Amino acid sequence: MDTTGATERYLQMTGRSPEGVWSAPGRVNLIGEHTDYNGGLALPIALPQRTVVAAGRRDDGMLRVTSAGFRRVVKLALDDVGPGTPTGWTSYVAGVPWALRQAGYDVGGMDLAITSQVPLGAGLSSSAALECAVGAALADLYGLGLLDDDAGRTTLAAACVRAENEIAGASTGGLDQAASLRCRAGHALLLDCRDGSATPVPFDLTEQGLTLLVTDTRAPHSLVDGQYAARRRVCEEAAVILGVPTLREISLPDLDGALSRLPDDEHRRRVRHVVTETARVEEVVAALELDDWVRVGKAFVLSHASLRDDFEVTSAELDLAVDTALAHGALGARMTGGGFGGSTIALVPAERADDLASEIERAFADARMRAPVSFPVTASGPAARDA
Ligand code: GLA
């Protein structure tokens, strides 16, 4: 991991070397979208792209934060952090020590210099990568031991989720933070959001002659603009109507009966997506065990259709990237992440990946859409100390 940029920025800000450097990855979710806050299953991998934080402790309870490409240094007292303060990207930083303190951990001030390779606003969890890199730095520097094992990482992930929900004001579930802190290189992570368990599932595409191609559509994507929260609200309302703690309690055989008890088409379609999506995660895990990549691809296609037609979170750009991928030899393709813009993934024979990227670019140009950016990814390692 190249830590030079963050280290140099830290030196500029403080005149000293950092006490250490930590980094955390973005993620793509292979399948299991909008299931996390419904107690369902998801299957993310950690990306090779990471957010890097050079950090050192301060004994005056202050946070000083800067990033490469951002000339200003933001300075604030930890005691002043709370819902609504600060605003903007620093809320994802300041929220983490706040949440750790709320959970009873004794953490103090920090100087932090940040650089990131995770594309911003691309649906690849740049926010979680930032929270988790800061969380990793805090956990290590203040001796919390939360990076040592999966239980500690789960606790740290919960603090990062709380930072995002309560300080940054995005009502997201726990998928992204779990992926960034709990994934393993060469594996996808089967995340069960009902009991919090996470099981590594071998995921090595190179061996199979396949590539996972991410396409960042560069269409604006935001999780704080109300649409995400609106989907979540409808799912939670449906669970109340059906008398269950979360939609996870509705199994596939129960689905039709459950749908008949819902008041309108919107509730029915949202619930149908959530219930069938968890079943598709199970289908993909079963197919991966058999190395049946055609079956994996089919589940991707069904997932995208469900997100487009029932959950209504895709966009013209996401649909075009997926349709173009399928028309040019992908075994499967789907949007990944929250939707409303962001990125797609395509499972494609390795020798066709470059051509596919060009075809997607051409299709976007023909449709007069902003040029997308495509790149292959592999299942990479979780948040860690780098120096
Ligand atoms: C965003 C959220 C996650 C999850 C996904 C959709 O990435 O941050 O919690 O809900 O959308 O699966």
Instruction: Express each pLDDT in 294-330 by its tens digit.
Output: 999 999 999 999 999 999 999 999 999 999 999 999 9
Question: Residue 1: which pLDDT band, with cuts at 50, 70 and 90?
Answer: confident
- Give the end of a domain, one of 139, 169, 203: 203
| 290 and 190 together in one domain | no
Model pLDDT for residues 320-359, shown as the tens digit of each residue: 999 999 999 999 999 999 999 999 999 999 999 999 999 9
Mean pLDDT of 117-146: 97
Residue 18 beta carbon below 6 angstroms from any ligand 1 atom? no
Q: What is the distance between the alpha carbons of residues 306 and 286, in angstroms, rounded to a whole number?
A: 20
| 175 and 238 together in one domain | no
| 312 and 342 together in one domain | yes
**Is the omega angle on the peptide bond into residue 86 within 30 degrees of 0, that is, cis?**
yes
Query: Which residue owns the Cα nearest ligand 1 atom 10?
Result: 34
Rounded mean pLDDT of the chain?
Answer: 97
Q: What is the distance between the alpha carbons of residues 239 and 271, in angstroms, rounded to a whole number?
A: 9
Q: For residue 221, what pLDDT is reported?
A: 65
Determine the atom of ligand 1 nearest the C-alpha atom of 36.
10
Mean pLDDT of 89-101: 97
| 83 and 190 together in one domain | yes
Residue 220 pLDDT exceeds 90: no
**Rounded to a whole number, what is the distance in angstroms from the first to the last CA of the chain?**
9
Mean pLDDT of 112-137: 96
Residue 269 belongs to domain spanning = 206-377
| 192 and 217 together in one domain | no
| 176 and 295 together in one domain | no
Q: What is the distance between the alpha carbons of residues 164 and 183, in angstroms, rounded to a whole number?
A: 20
In the reported structure, the alpha carbon of residue 34 is separated from the centroid of ligand 1 by a whole-number distance in angstroms of 6
Model pLDDT for residues 262-274, shown as the tens digit of each residue: 999 999 999 999 9
| 74 DSSP β-pair partners | 65
In the reported structure, the alpha carbon of residue 2 is separated from the centroid of ligand 1 by a whole-number distance in angstroms of 28
Annotated active-site residue in 36, 140, 176, 386? 176
| 292 and 193 together in one domain | no
Residue 40 beta carbon below 6 angstroms from any ligand 1 atom? no
| 363 and 314 together in one domain | yes
Sequence-distant (6+) residues with CB within 8 A of 384 are: 22, 23, 24, 136, 147
- Give the end of a domain, one of 182, 203, 224: 203
Asked whether residue 384 is assigned to any structural domain, the reply reads no
Residue 110 pLDDT exceeds 70: yes
pTM: 0.97
Told to judge if 149 belongs to the known catalytic residues of this protein, a careful annotator would answer no
Mean pLDDT of 170-178: 96
Question: Residue 98: which pLDDT band, with cuts at 50, 70 and 90?
Answer: very high
Q: For residue 20, what pLDDT is reported?
A: 98
Asked whether residue 386 is assigned to any structural domain, the reply reads no
In the reported structure, the alpha carbon of residue 223 is separated from the centroid of ligand 1 by a whole-number distance in angstroms of 9
Residue 173 beta carbon below 6 angstroms from any ligand 1 atom? yes
Q: For residue 223, what pLDDT is reported?
A: 62
Q: For residue 222, what pLDDT is reported?
A: 62
Question: Residue 107: which pLDDT band, with cuts at 50, 70 and 90?
Answer: very high
Q: Decide: residue 237, CB within 10 A, 0-12 exposed, 13-18 middle, 19+ buried.
A: middle
Residue 224 pLDDT exceeds 60: no
Question: Residue 71: which pLDDT band, with cuts at 50, 70 and 90?
Answer: confident
CATH classification at residue 227: 3.30.70.890
| 106 and 173 together in one domain | yes
Number of structural domains the chain divides into: 2
Q: For residue 27, what pLDDT is reported?
A: 98
In the reported structure, the alpha carbon of residue 137 is separated from the centroid of ligand 1 by a whole-number distance in angstroms of 24
Q: For residue 260, what pLDDT is reported?
A: 98
Q: For residue 369, what pLDDT is reported?
A: 96
| 94 and 30 together in one domain | yes
- Give the end of a domain, one of 203, 235, 266: 203
